Structure 1
Amino acid sequence: MVQFSSFLSGLTKNISPKAGKKRRINLGREATEALAKEARKNGLLLTSPGIVSAKRSDNYVSAYSKGGNKGINQDCFIVWEGFGGKEDVMFCGVFDGHGPWGHLVGKRVKKVMPAYLLHYWQEAMAQCSILINGELFKNANFDQFDVWKKSFLKACSTVDYDLELHPVIDSFYSGTAALTIIREGDLLVLANVGDSRAVLGTTSDDGSIVAVQLTVDFKPSVPQETERIYKSGGSVCESEDEPGVSRIRASNDETPEGPGLALSRAFGDFFVKDFGLISEPDVIQKTITTRDRFVILATDGVWDVVSNEKAVEIVSAEREDSAKRIVEYAAAQWKRKRPEYATDDISVVCLFFHNL
């Protein structure tokens, strides 16, 4: 048996099992906000362009965001080294808002998701633990990935509920995609809601750095997503002025009216939540090996104009300011490849596994 971290023990003491769910979540959020404040003070929490190089881990992170030509930048990101007070855990995420209130929805999800994730992680850890002489120990059948997966699933459900009840932010016709990851030791856990993408840079047998896509771009045209949408009573259509862009619509009529959504998974967007749109994340794991160099998290403002291979090539050339170089390259590609369209907002987080 392995002893739990002092962080988990501290949360367990502060949160009564008899308290209601809302009370416990609020206490968890308060604890997380205090931890976040301390992390920011120590330079371990990043929400604006910059780098994080932690002394007590192998992580090195470069992050950058730039608005396009559509108005206010609706993208945002977070990097949290020593997540939840655990020195060996890092949390990263990119958020791509859309709709009239998309910038506020993205920022809200960025703010509350770490708190909800830590709350449910604490619950899951407690469920697979044994109390011995006042200390918590892991059960023999403890599954590290399973704990994080359950925590992500519950956290994302609660995030959507939080948006639906928010007294100020109107997320009926607005929402956000969210791609978040946890690194704990050699375990990488990815939770994807939407069409942002994670791409791994890893070393091949000949010594070159190759790209491996880790996540699925969840758009309505993906076969399993299309099937779910139709089973839910929604429809998937393309408009004449956007050939090749599939959207969910809240109608099965031959000529549906009203706005559509070019995502099959998102937070918010409650106008199509009863017609196939879900906020359930696809949660996967990757064991980091000595061959794996870095992972790129980026919103679709990158992947609409930049290939996985080119992004990995840019990052592998030099890790310092790597996120900014991808963003600037993608912005230039928008002007070259899609001059008739407004440049999209672009956000990138590059997480390097081995801090040289």
Structure 2
Amino acid sequence: MFSWLARIAWTCWKPVRRYARMSKDDLDDSSLEDPLLWCRSLDKHSYGEFSFAVVQANEVLEDQSQVETGRDATFVGVYDGHGGPDASRFISDHLFLHLMRHAREKGALSEDILRSAFSATEDGFLTLVRRTCGIKPLMAAIGSCCLVGVIWRGTLYVANLGDSRAVIGSLGRSNKIVGEQLNKEHNASLEEVRQELRSLHPNDSHIVVMKHGVWRIKGIIQVSRSIGDAYLKRPEFSLDPTFPRFHLPEPLGRPVLTAEPSVCTRVVQPNDKFIIFASDGLWEHMTNQEAVEIVHNNPRAGIAKRLLKTALSEAARKREMRYDDLKKVEKGVRRFFHDDITIVVIFIDHDLLEKKQPAPELSVKGFIDTVGPSSFNIFKD
């Protein structure tokens, strides 16, 4: 369905593109700002600096994101919603607060505390679905991927649901930068994920189905782990056949999706230079290695925006367009050319890791451009 709609959008766009190319000024003007792009060039966090950029493609932005900088820790969250923005917005409003509450209770951070924060966020969103599904039944079909990174006391914690990606750039042999993916992806396009689903559902021959050239769980969704998507987790949220897009061929016997994150811990090494956190919209257009080389070989200021523009230029090239032409496409229609994309680049300055110098305590929400004080402190005051 999506590829068919994309062909229609592209057919409609071609005459406009020809007209746009007739203007010499447009051909030469590469400074035209993208009205759907937001960025923060460079800010400080406890262990270095960070750069932040978001571009909207959907009619309503489904990517939500945040960076929280505290006295002794740095938090990054990238929440790639699907079916609507409700789940990703809910995560942005609640997950970090759950993490702080659990961490303060223990006076420390751990993988179990990260899992507890994810679980509390999932429970909270399903409660919201239960309260509102009578007036908005499609709330049961709204979900979000969720990628979180926390640096605390020289250790990096990464937790993930879905197919966003955290990639660390480290200096290898001959002082060359090397990209290493830190998190597992939960997408049915991966053979490992399909095998996991088949082993968990041995009696369900339709647990993964190839549909329109894409592997999908129950023929509906690509990601196997998420916050939300209640109708694929609990029978009480099943949608009736009036919503054919989300209709299951048989009643749900057991959950086919889970909100259990994959979590990894890494002690930050002297050769670790930066981490790129990004929704899957970036990785559709570049490899891990291409991304870390762009970051390594360019100035820090505006580096997230540079990554974003590189991805958008590649998305335009695939449609035989220039990025300047793509900038003129309105939100909603833009989704036929690329996804919402969120990028956060966290630089690690090792002298700051050792000195523990104070940094501004900021709470930055992506695209909304709200910047305020953060109360990010793992220890009770």
Matched, 1:171 2:139: yes
Match of 1:345? 340
Match of 2:210? 238
Mapped partners of 1:221, 1:123: distance in 2? 39
Match of 1:272? 232
CA RMSD between the two structures = 2.2
After TM superposition, the structure 1 = structure 2 runs for residues 73-222 of structure 1, keeping only pairs within 5 Å, are: 73-82=61-70, 87-99=71-83, 101=84, 103-125=85-107, 147-166=109-128, 167-168=131-132, 171-222=139-190
Shift of 1:54: 3.4
Shift of 1:212: 1.1
Name the SS of the counterpart of 1:77 in structure 2. Answer: strand
TM-score of the pair, normalised by structure 2: 0.66
Deviation string, structure 1 residues 302-337 (Cα, Å, up to 9, x no partner): 001111111112211121111111111111212223
Matched, 1:59 2:48: yes
Aligned residue type for 2:103: W
Match of 2:312? 331
Shift of 1:221: 4.0
Name the SS of the counterpart of 2:139 in structure 1. Answer: coil
Deviation string, structure 1 residues 139-196 (Cα, Å, up to 9, x no partner): xxxxx6xx42111111111111111111447531111101001101210000011100
The answer (yes or no) to whether the contact 1:61–1:351 under 8 Å persists in 2 is: yes
Matched, 1:49 2:39: yes
Aligned residue type for 1:342: F
Match of 1:247? 216
The answer (yes or no) to whether the contact 2:42–2:300 under 8 Å persists in 1 is: no
Mapped partners of 1:118, 1:336: distance in 2? 43
Match of 2:5? none
Structure 1: tracts of 5 or more residues without a match: 1-47, 126-143, 250-258
Mapped partners of 2:121, 2:319: distance in 1? 34
Aligned residue type for 2:160: N
Shift of 1:205: 2.2
Shift of 1:88: 1.5
Shift of 1:352: 0.3
The answer (yes or no) to whether the contact 1:305–1:337 under 8 Å persists in 2 is: no
Matched, 1:293 2:270: no
Greater length-normalized contact order (CA 8 Å, ≥ 6 residues apart): 2
Mapped partners of 2:149, 2:312: distance in 1? 25
Mapped partners of 1:191, 1:279: distance in 2? 11
The answer (yes or no) to whether the contact 1:76–1:94 under 8 Å persists in 2 is: yes
- Residues 342 and 51 of structure 1: CA distance in aligned 2, closer, same or farther (over 3 Å): closer
Name the SS of the counterpart of 1:277 in structure 2. Answer: coil
Mapped partners of 2:147, 2:119: distance in 1? 15
Match of 1:256? none
Mapped partners of 1:338, 1:151: distance in 2? 44
The sequence identity of aligned pairs, in percent, is: 27
